[in-house]
Amino acid sequence: MTQRLRYANDTYERDEFGVWRYRWGDPVPGAHDLTLADLLAIHTSDAAATRELGRAELEWLAGERDDIGEVLVQQHGDRTPTTGDLVVGMAAPELHVQLMLTVADVADLAHVSKATIDSYRSRGTLPEPQVQRGRTPLWSRPVIKRWLATRPGAAAEAARREALAARRAHADRVAVAPGAPMRRPA
């Protein structure tokens, strides 16, 4: 099947070649298809989020359809795909729960308060979280890094920090040595 698949609030997209990419086009490092067989091998109650299956896929799973032209499956050479080959999502190292960022983490990286992050979320200026664990939204680090670099005001913020660093460097260069007399600038 050559259809594109979107995942995790449309943050990731599987292209026609089976490569998982960020919304902005870069490939997701270490990403691979999450299949039905992968999910069935998970023995926890906290299974990975999956996509909604289409009618053709449901019919194929129920044995009511043989044609897999509209069914998104992993292809393995000439072997006929089985139900375990059905692609239901994406797995990538950045989506491991211990690597994902909470509201507090995002606030720290953005140098703002958690309330400001909540405000960004309510206004829709922060990307949707990739995962919701209970009531806790979680973002992948690359998505937040991209947002920080491209959000409105990012250029002004970078210029402000650069100017502050330059002032500090200048102050360090003109610092008076201990015991030296201070002079007023002319």
| CA distance linking residue 51 with residue 175, whole number of Å | 60
Q: Would you list the DSSP string of 95-113?
A: GSTTTSB-HHHHHHHHTS-
pLDDT-based confidence at residue 65 (cuts at 50, 70, 90):
confident
pLDDT of residue 46: 44
**Average pLDDT value over all residues in the chain:** 82
- Of 160, 1, 172, 168, nearest to 72 by C-alpha is 1
Predicted confidence band at 182 (pLDDT cuts at 50, 70, 90)? Answer: low
Distance CA 125, CA 147 (A): 9
Residue 53 has pLDDT above 60, yes or no: yes
- Residues 83-122: tens digit of each pLDDT: 888 888 888 888 888 889 999 999 999 999 999 999 999 9
User: Given a cut of 70, is residue 181 above it in pLDDT?
Assistant: no
pLDDT of residue 2: 55
Per the CB < 8 A criterion, the answer to whether 10 and 74 are in contact is: no
Q: What is the mean pLDDT of residues 175-181?
A: 58
Q: What is the pLDDT of residue 175?
A: 60
3-state secondary structure of 178: coil
Give 36's pLDDT tier (boundaries 50, 70, 90).
confident
Cα end-to-end span (Å), the chain? 75
* Domain residue extents for the chain: 5-92, 103-170
pLDDT one-digit tens code per residue, 132-152: 888 999 999 999 999 999 887
Q: How many CB atoms lie within 10 A of CB 119?
A: 13
Q: Encode pLDDT of 66-76 as tens digits.
A: 888 888 888 88
Beta bridge partners of 76: 79
Give the phi and the psi of residue 36 in degrees, each rounded to 5.
Answer: -60, -40
Please state, in angstroms and as integers, the Cα–Cα distance from residue 6 to each residue in 12, 23, 47, 172, following that order.
Answer: 6, 9, 19, 51
